[in-house]
Amino acid sequence: MGEYLKAKGANFGYYPKPVKIILIIKDNSLKQSAQKLFKNQGTKITAHGERYLGSFKEQYTKNKG
């Protein structure tokens, strides 16, 4: 994760956790560059999209209520 985000994020109450971040890239040709940029951070990098937990959480709580 960029040092800038780590340093400046705290000013806005944002404390990034690289292992919880999923970086979605446009296509696999960018994957190698992204891996260099985020090396040793534990950030998942994919060109295939991911499930958005926020929408799952909303649906789950609606069904519970």
Instruction: In whole angstroms, give the CA distance from residue 56 to residue 65.
Output: 14
Give the other-Cβ count within 10 Å of 45's Cβ.
19
- What is the tens place of the pLDDT at every residue in 2-57? 677 778 888 888 887 888 888 888 888 888 998 888 888 888 898 887 776 666 66
Q: Classify 52 in phi/psi space as left (phi over 0), alpha (psi -120 to 50) or beta.
A: beta
Provide the residue range defining the domain that includes 58: 3-64
Q: Is the pTM of this model over 0.75?
A: no
User: How many domains is the chain partitioned into structurally?
Assistant: 1
Q: What stretch of H or E contains 46?
A: strand 44-46
